[in-house]
A = this chain, B = another copy of it.
Amino acid sequence: MATVKCSIPKGTRDFLPVEMARRNYIFDTIRSVFRAFAFEPIETPSLENLSTLMGKYGEEGDKLLFKVLNSGNFMEGVDFNQDYHKVAPQICDRGLRYDLTVPFARFVVQHRDQVVFPFRRYQLQPVWRADRPQKGRYREFYQCDADMIGSPSLLNELELVQMIDTVFDKLGINVCVKINNRKVLAGIAEMIGAPDKMVDITVAIDKLDKIGLDNVRAELAERGLTAEQIKALDPVFSLSGTAAEKISALEEMFANVETGLKGAAELKELFALINAAGPRCTVELDLTLARGLNYYTGAIFEVKALDVQIGSICGGGRYDNLTGIFGMPDVSGVGISFGADRIYDVLTELNAFPEGLEQAARVMFINFGAKEQAACIGIAARLRCAGISTLIYPDAAKMKKQMDFANRKQVPFVAFVGESEMQNGTVTLKNMSDGSQQTMTVDEMISQMK
């Protein structure tokens, strides 16, 4: 038989048991916090109609959608003497989901009669993007989203900050939550007389950390702002002090700019709630925070790990009209998304995964042959019933081979059932970390293992 070259598509990954254990630790932590805050799980199909996905992520996003070829004779009636951009949507009706937000908006509209508002949903599922793969960027990766929709209350925003605080506290990652408000950014654009340039301004401001003030100013000029308008932005760049001080300065700055004042008021209320709740992590107002996605209309969040150099590991914000794209206007929502892959990288770099996550089995029985195996089967059934992960080595191989296996699999206890144990109804248990050995009854063994 010919040897097939074994590989997987670029940008995708296999997960071995040790990686699975670590990933599940992250997912379980996030999920337990979502549950504690009364979020309910949903799932949507991996395949969505392309009409649902196209045009929702900008031109660049459309290019990054994985499109699925129609079944059967996909060529029938299609003119292939056209540009490939035109042909693709004619031979592909469906695509792989690109994020969890657009499918969620579609879900809410489609199931509006079954959903009780305000609705809190969480969703942990993979998404696919035909991006150029690079370190930390994959073509298939998980998103962990929590959104609350149907309520304008800033309590929702507070709870998202509390959830972020709790997740990273549980994971042992020091973080800073950066908060801003899109209305403040809109107010700034309005204030300098360039209300149509809000996106350009926020995109440029977003790069302040990376490229510095001078380059941001150059970019703003390129994007069509006048020297005067750029100069008028100076107060924004020079804001400093606590959140309260920055908010006061904003209120002053926005004296006549209604949107800006509304944003400042929202920030004021949110920071009051946060200060009262007293999160463990740092929370700061960062006016240079913009976030790329244009559907945000209120608070925006981004989380940075303090001890590791990496992009944001969680982000989100308030959107006032997400379901509008599917014909259901005026549903306000706010949500966050945890980046499981980056969190994995942070925990790896910090060496902060708990010990013992990757145990294949808690105890392995040595196989001495048919008669002893029969005795082990009965004992193993009791251990497994008690929820203890138990292995019987499947073949009566040489002792050295069986012990090597237990060592390589890092099994913490090895059990021996030989002649005398069978006679006495006991088990001899070897602790693999210190080599100690003890003979005991099965009941004793169960209580020791638990």
Q: Which residues of A contact B (CB under 8 A)?
A: 1-9, 12-17, 20-21, 24, 32-33, 35-38, 40-49, 51-52, 63-64, 66-69, 71-76, 80, 84, 87-88, 91-94, 96, 106-107, 109-111, 114-116, 118, 120-121, 126, 128, 130, 139-140, 148, 151-153, 155-156, 158-159, 162, 166, 273, 276-277, 324-327, 329, 360-361, 364, 367, 373-374, 377-378, 381, 384-385, 387-392, 394-395, 405, 408-409
Contact A17 B42 (CB under 8 A): yes
- Please name 10 pairs of A and B residues whose Cβ atoms are closer than 8 Å in the assembled complex, sorted by A: A4-B327, A15-B44, A36-B385, A36-B389, A37-B390, A74-B84, A118-B395, A118-B405, A120-B391, A156-B394
Contact B6 A326 (CB under 8 A): yes
The number of times this chain is found in the oligomer is 2
Q: Which residue from B80, B130, B162, B166 sits with its C-beta under 8 Å from A71?
A: B130
Q: A73-B84, A152-B395 are in contact. List 7 more A-B contacts (CB 8 A).
A: A9-B48, A15-B43, A17-B121, A20-B42, A36-B390, A69-B88, A153-B394
Give the residues in chain B near A115, CB-CB below 8 Å. 16
Give the residues in chain B near A46, CB-CB below 8 Å. 12, 46, 96, 126, 128, 140
Contact A8 B48 (CB under 8 A): yes
Give the residues in chain B near A44, CB-CB below 8 Å. 8, 14-15
> Which residue of chain B is the closest to A49 with respect to CB atoms?
B9
Contact B276 A374 (CB under 8 A): yes
Alpha-carbon separation in the docked complex, A144 to B21 (Å) = 17
Contact A40 B17 (CB under 8 A): yes
Contact B277 A377 (CB under 8 A): yes
Q: Which residue from B2, B35, B67, B91 sits with its C-beta under 8 Å from A389?
A: B35
Q: Which residue from B41, B87, B152 sits with its C-beta under 8 Å from A75?
A: B87
Contact B7 A110 (CB under 8 A): yes
Give the residues in chain B near A47, CB-CB below 8 Å. 8-9, 12, 66, 128, 139-140
Contact A327 B1 (CB under 8 A): yes
Q: Which residue from B2, B14, B76 sits with its C-beta under 8 Å from A45?
A: B14
Give the residues in chain B near A7, CB-CB below 8 Å. 49, 110
Give the residues in chain B near A3, CB-CB below 8 Å. 326-327
Closest Cβ of chain B to A123, distance in Å, is 10
Alpha-carbon separation in the docked complex, A88 to B13 (Å) = 25
Closest Cβ of chain B to A328, distance in Å, is 8
Alpha-carbon separation in the docked complex, A94 to B9 (Å) = 7
Contact B45 A409 (CB under 8 A): no
Contact B8 A20 (CB under 8 A): no
Closest Cβ of chain B to A203, distance in Å, is 24
Closest Cβ of chain B to A363, distance in Å, is 9
